Amino acid sequence: MSVCVQYPSAGCIVEYLEGNAVQIALVTEESGGKLRLLLPNRRETRLTTSRLLPWAGPALGSVPGKDESARLLEQHRARREELAAALPVLELWEMSQGEVPEASAQWFAELAGQAGDADSVAACGRALLACKSHFRFQPPVFQIFSAGMVEKRLREQQERAAREALVLGGNSFFRLLWDVACKKRALPPRPGGDCRGMSEWPAPEVAERLKQILFARMADPENQEYDELWRMLSKGLPDVPHLPVQLLMAWEQVPAHYNFWYDRAGYAPGDDWWRPLAPAVEALQRAARQVELPVCDLPFISIDSATTRDVDDAFHILPTDDGGFELTLALACPAACWPFGEPLDKAVFRRGTSIYLPEGDSHMMPEVLGTDAFSLLAGQDRPAFCVKTRISAAGEILSCEPRAARVRLAANLTYDDTQAVLDALASGEAPQADNPAAPWAAMLACGNDFAHVWQKARIARGAVIMDRPEPSIVLEGQGAQTRVSIEPGHETPDSQPLVAEMMILASAAVAQWAAEREIPMLHRTQDVALPREYAGVWKEPQDMTRIMRALIPSSLEVQARPHAALGLARYTPMTSPLRRYPDLINEAQLLHWLTHGTPRWDSEALSTLLVSLNAVLDAAGQVQRFRPRYWKLLYFRQQGDKVWWDGVVTEENDMFVNVSLPAQGMYVRGKRRMFDERTCPGMAVQVRIGRVHPLYNEIQILEAVSMDG
């Protein structure tokens, strides 16, 4: 028999839910399903009977005075809370689960042996309401969850609790870190021992989760997995670029000046990334020594910077009787035994290209391969892809003969030594005997002649050449103590173009050879129409800026289209297979054709591969572009805002003036009102720079002075 009142009237104790909490009250008046209730705090409220919980009672028979009513309500409330706390709710679930799908509070009270009065039933209802992981209240009964559902809800409950703790502790900790980043305070002592400030640190499990979120947001700011959580954690913090980076640096989880662009690209810097693949790398080292290829005994020489370790091209050149040239290029040939499709190849593919930065290089391949086993080191037998070409005196490609061979370079020369030889020859003097490049003076002179002829021919076809020396960025010190200096780059006006023109020729000749045989290749294209007067070599900043506005970025495509800036109908990059994955693909495609008479990949396969490859190259390209600029901005900030810098105006309009700083390889912008009214492109100016924030990529002109007239 029920101990609860089915139709509560005046004098009956009832309960209802308010704000997700159970409230107790006494009915003082009932009329047509509408109730007036007296609360324990002696206040009154109105409620409909539909809002009541299904365990009304006991009925007092009459309505006592307010003081007595409040005393009785408090007495029943205390007893119900005591009974609810003692109720073995989980045992009730174990006894009922699988037996009935749902039951009333009184049924559960009877199951627990506590259905003696209304307080017992109400206490049972309260306990069941609190156990949301095992029961769901569907008035007037409680649904009983299955074991699987309970496990799921307990897991969700734990996650919800962890999330609340994370947000509560994380937001305050992030605010602390932001103050540290802004130098408003020092990082408090870490937990441990008797360290004061311990309460300012989150619990270890919360700290680990916060660290995970910050690293994820640093690597991918658009990460939707943490999007909502990040909004709550960063609430009240400024919406600035790269906030996770600043918080991690303040937390000392990453060093000062951390290169987060590597994280964005998913690119592991340094040379440890391949260690889990060591057996495959060792096998490839052996394969490089053992691959059987015919020998090419030409005395090849290479020319690179003094710090270059991955030597991927060398040449041998002779003049021909008709005033032209016979040029044979030897290119590093990892494709001769490369394990395409295997884990090592996939890891190299995900890198896509080597990255060269002031703080150090990160090679596309393991260094034991890229700087040793496949690198064209003088005196060492190496597999090579040789491209023999004949060029007319007018700079036309007469023939192209690609083949694989083993070569042994005669010398590895530097740009500086080569330039010294060319300078001596130009002045009619003999090169210095102790110059390593001196024995190759005749070949270097021939190569220099070729470079002039070939470049002139490219310009005749519309090539646009930007002669823009890049200064050298030098770093000293570590972490926050790093100091930046910018030094003029080495002037090698002949030796670098000599090599560059040979590489352009090889890529053009191979593109033509492959097209004649309908071999699908990856092409670098820049299909844009340029005014004829843009062709030539440009050195002045204002001229280069004007012409660059007319160009579009080059792109990597399977379809062969013109490359406007190079002045070529087709351009197939394949001269740097140690440094660029597209070159490795093209080299493998050519080798497969030479060996089997068929391409390794058809056009459709190359197009599919290119989708992922372009994304990889774009990400690595951001590292290569933004990181040197970061160091330049840091250099300007370290110099302070009182220094005047020499510049040249490149563009101007009613709002802004753009200025090139040639010595630092930088472009900066200032408001038009700071400049002389006569300011125009080409005008020499001096500017004072400030408001520099390297991380935000911000720099502004504070003041400008014209140096013309």
| Two structure tokens written together for 456 | 């002139």
Instruction: Give the pLDDT of residue 195.
Output: 42
CB 178 within 8 A of CB 237: yes
Low-confidence ranges of the chain (pLDDT < 50): 1, 193-197
In CATH, 640-706 is 2.40.50.140: yes
What are 431-440's pLDDT values in tens digits? 999 999 999 9
C-alpha 142/C-alpha 5 separation (Å) is 19
Q: Which residues contact 685 (CB under 8 A, 6 or more apart)?
A: 646, 647, 648, 649, 659, 675, 679, 704, 705, 706, 707
Pairing of strands 411-414, 301-304: parallel
| Two structure tokens written together for 169 | 């502790």
C-alpha 246/C-alpha 249 separation (Å) is 5
Instruction: Give the pLDDT of residue 194.
Output: 43
Predicted TM-score (pTM) of the model is 0.82
| Two structure tokens written together for 235 | 């609430």
Q: Rounded to 5 degrees, what angle do the CA atoms 555, 536, 465 make? A: 40
Q: What is the number of other CB atoms lying within 10 angstroms of the CB of residue 272? A: 9
Which residue intervals of the chain bear CATH 2.40.50.140? 640-706
